[in-house]
Chain A
Amino acid sequence: MIAAATDTRTNYDTLAAIYLWVAGVVFAIIALAVLWIVVRYPSGRDPARSPSGPVDAHRTEAVYAVGLAVVAAVLIGLTFHHQDQVDDLTTVAAENPATLRVDVIGAQWQWRFRYPAQRPGQRVVEQTAPEGTPPELVVPVGRPVLFSGRSQDVVHDFWIPDLKFQRGIWPDHTERWALVFPHPGRFTGVCAWFCGLYHQNMHFVAVALPAAAFDRWLARERGGRAA
């Protein structure tokens, strides 16, 4: 079942650790080499010594270039694999009619979340809040949620830092993505793309409930509120 799908945070953390290690090792090697050379070969130490060594080493440099290409290829391969995890989640979630759908509507400077009818006769649930107050995006833990994002004015960007995921919200296009919330709790969400005067206040809170509690919440919202 898709309930076991990898969440974006685990996926990110795995890849980030590899990139961080590679970057750290490369930085250490180059920085130490540069500092060692600069300290090792000052002109004052042995004034008679003339600069020496070949000015070219085509074969060495070609071998080194191949090494660089291998490093790049490995990183690309890893990135493709982890990017597939993110993208596949959306594909799989979209294929399953039972996946919870949530519409994300961005407008200067507030978010709105709409739970469309997934069966005939179901009531649409809207999560809104007055401007300046973050609205609540209520979601289940461990089950993929399929989002459809659209902006009513300028470009916005749906970012949940704790899930290490963001996606642009466009006025001319409906963008879809799926997320899995790995544990219950409150996740801060922000608009990441600068969208005008009160951009910095455009927040939301994702409230992840255990599956059973979420189902009760949604049933209550769908049935309870008089239209």
Chain B
Amino acid sequence: MSVAPRLAPNPPPAAPLIDSMISVDHKAIARRLLAFALLFFLAGGVMALLMRTELAEPGLQIVSTQTYNALFTMHGSTMIYLVITPLALALGLYLVPLQVGASRVAAPRVALAGLWIFVLGGLIMQAGWLTVGGPGRATWIGVAPLSEFQRTPGAGQDFWIIGVLLATLGEWLIGMCVLATALGRRAPGMTLMRMAPFTWTMVGTTLMMIFAFPVLIVLMGLLFYDRRNCCLFDGPQGPLTYQELFWFYGHPVVYVMFFPFVGAVAEVFSAFSGRRLFGYAFFVASTALLFAALSSSVWGHHLFTSGRINAKYFALTSHGIILAAGLEYFDLIGTLWRGRIRWTAALLFGVVFLVQFLIGGLSGIWVASPTLDFNANNSYVVVGHFHYTLFAGSVFGAFAAIFYWFPKWTGAFLREGLGKLQLVIMFVGTNMTFAPMFALGEDGMTRRIANYGSRGWETLNTIATVGSYIIALGILVFLVNLYVSLRRRRPAGDDPWSGPSLEWATSSPPPPHNFDVLPPVRSFAPLLDAREAVEGAPA
């Protein structure tokens, strides 16, 4: 009697919540990571709305300068460390094991630890709001020596440092598990050059993380030490060293927040045009290898105006991105070319991603030129530029991914009509918000200011503020969609879109071991192979 329960094959969970929190199933870990990223996204969005409301007209209306400084610091930190990076990793953690035909992720306990270390870091960073002096307020890069204790006293800045350190450590652990899965746990027949396009973008992403993320983790440790001691970053060469080290992380992370969404959109285009990815070999070489390699050699373009780096070298490497990004666009568009295109919400989000990101990319080439960056740097041109990449680009790509893979994650569809409505609203709001910023920056408006005085910038700022509320409306439509789709489920089946890669060859959601039977893998689109074999048979 005392022994029997231990021998029972499936004892009922004693504590379902704890059990789900410590599940080592990569899909469960990824779902939690995604959920936390979405929660942080809403928090970061509220901060953005508060800032835009303050900026609607000149002068100070709703927040103090001190609060505004905390808001832009925490908005940037939340979105970069706690939203887009983990969102990208959650997609990778869920999908890479499935796409390579693995039964589980490599080192699942490490991935689980990564999740909770990340969550702890995120909560600590946000806990800064509860401290007397407020949260971190020395910009999302925690720039030294401004972030030193005498310049930014208070526990909130320490919370920020510890939060960034832990969140980044957690993300790094998860990234390494994803990389190890792609490299070490592929199914029979799944050679490297048969990996799905999305998996390849995750390989590129995690390769960058190997080198970039530990630099930030160590830098945060040093900054924490330096706030109590002396004189790493406030001594000779200290301020420059801080920024060199930071941007050695800070530029690769920009691509960490971009590649996975390119990969997702590649899958979406492939599925909804009924074709396999065009120019697969070029796509792999340009995205996962050339782009990733360049990412570690362009950091100095963030320091063009320092006068203390070799501007020509970094202008050269930064313009090299034209080659990598240009090939990527060629392959994505080539995939749509002469396909049988289905205008689903996912496809349309992907198309808008492609066009809007182009504005971010082209303005990126603009700031890759030091001569032009001498005006654009630290102005609203840069704010417009990176919001076109990260929001108009990556977030739209993330929604393409969510609409495409939601049926796989839950077994039910998101509502297509609400999705298209959300897309139209977000498209209008996004361009109203971020396009005016280019004009404002060109005209001399500095970023990180709560009050822009009477310089004739009211109209464009008001338009941007209205746009930000329209974006919020779009996000609200998504939340309604999420609620409706989960409450009144429209069952999707295993492979509702006729997808190209292995994740569609199992049930929705997949069982804990992922696959009962694996189809043969003879190309990077094994399910298309199978369908073409069937369709081709009668002829």
Contact = CB atoms under 8 A, between A and B. Distances in A.
A170 interface: yes
Contacts of B2: none
Contacts of A68: 322-323, 326-327
Nearest to B373: A166
B280 interface: yes
Contact of A199 (B326, B339, B448): B448
Contact of B371 (A53, A86, A173): A86
A15 B315 CA distance: 14
Interface stretch (A58-66, A96-104, A115-123, A208-216): A58-66
Contacts of A194: 69, 138-139, 143, 146, 378, 447-448
A154 B146 contact: yes
Contacts of A108: 151
A57 B338 CA distance: 14
A80 interface: yes
Nearest to B448: A194
Interface of B: 65-66, 69, 138-139, 143, 145-146, 151-152, 234-240, 273-282, 303, 305-308, 311-312, 315-316, 319-320, 322-323, 326-327, 329-331, 333-334, 336-343, 347, 351, 354-355, 358-359, 362-363, 365-366, 369-372, 374-375, 377-379, 443-444, 446-452, 535
Contact of A153 (B145, B274, B331): B145
A171 B239 contact: yes
A13 B200 CA distance: 41
Contact of A61 (B138, B327, B359, B363): B327
Contacts of A51: 273-275, 338-340
Contacts of B449: 199-200
B69 A80 contact: no
Nearest to B352: A34
30 contacts: A27-B359, A35-B355, A37-B337, A41-B273, A41-B336, A49-B340, A51-B273, A58-B281, A61-B279, A65-B326, A68-B322, A83-B312, A153-B145, A155-B146, A157-B377, A161-B375, A161-B443, A165-B374, A166-B374, A167-B374, A172-B236, A172-B238, A173-B237, A173-B240, A175-B306, A175-B307, A177-B307, A194-B143, A194-B448, A199-B449
A75 B369 contact: yes
A12 B139 CA distance: 28
Contacts of B316: 76
A213 to B, nearest CB: 26
